[in-house]
Amino acid sequence: MSAIVEFDSVGLRYGTGAEVLRDLDFRLAKGGFYFLTGPSGAGKTSLLQLLYLARRPTRGRIRLFEEDLSEAPREILPSFRRRIGVVFQDFRLIRHLSAFDNVALPLRISGRTDAEVEGPVREMLAWVGLADRASARPPTLSGGEQQRVAIARAVISQPELLVADEPTGNVDAEMAQRLLHLFSALNRLGTTIVVATHDLSLITSTPGAQLMRLEKGTMADPTGLLRHPPQLTAGSR
């Protein structure tokens, strides 16, 4: 089985509190599209933070990109993080950079020249409906506009794994569908997608996507599909 993510008996606690994630055992297939749902406080953001290596589990093992990273030295984590695109719930845009420069950042970090960055960034800003806001700085953008910049930044470098925390929470239904098309297009190019959302319309309009549901820190997996996902390849749906 080709898994991009494997959780084995994973638990997470903050400080000395009770575990907020418990006994997580699941695999995500390379090239899959997953929605993560569950009530507020169920642990969705915490689980995503484990996925994009912002936290380490307090118990169990996590394999990502076929490497066991549970106890990997901190110095090697940035090289893995660069393979992951993240849409944070609170956007985390760089305030003093324009929308254009925020979106360009991952490409510049990977060594692209200004000439190579220009076209893709303009195209991506146009796709998320912000062609005319390229030079605006985040504090002058609305919440929905900031969210779209954050999404553009996360997908621009076609990461192997995209992790998005409520990525359509601040946009209207039409824009939410448009952003979902962007995720689906990225998925067809091979990116594995994990989206935490409460928005059922996103889930029902994405055929082939799988649903993960967290309840009080544990994963419901009644069909067993998360432990034994079917083989998926890019473009298979």
Ligand X SMILES: Nc1ncnc2c1ncn2[C@@H]1O[C@H](COP(=O)(O)OP(=O)(O)OP(=O)(O)O)[C@@H](O)[C@H]1O
| Binding residues vs ligand X (CB under 6 A) | 14, 20, 38, 40-46
> Looking at beta carbons only, is 60 or 106 nearer to ligand X?
60
Shortest CB 47 distance to ligand X, Å: 7
| In the complex, minimum distance from the CB of residue 35 to ligand X, in angstroms, rounded to a whole number | 13
Kindly tell me which of 46 and 146 has the beta carbon lying closer to ligand X. 46
- State which residue, 38 or 85, has the beta carbon closest to ligand X: 38
What's the min distance (Å) between Cβ of 10 and ligand X? 13
DSSP β-bridge partners for residue 63: 6, 68
C-beta of 144 vs 169, nearer to ligand X: 169
- Nearer to ligand X among residue 20 and residue 232 (C-beta): 20
Least distance from C-beta 15 to ligand X, angstroms? 7
Q: Cβ 40 to ligand X, closest distance in Å?
A: 3
Q: How far is the CB of 26 from ligand X (least distance, A)?
A: 16
Q: In what order do the strands lie in the sheet with 218-220?
A: 84-87, 161-165, 192-196, 33-37, 210-215, 218-220
Cβ proximity to ligand X, 14 vs 140, nearer residue: 14
The secondary structure of 25-51, three-state, reads EEEEECCCEEEEECCCCCCHHHHHHHH
Burial 19-37 (b: 16+ CB within 10 A, else e): bbbbebebbbbbbbbbbbb
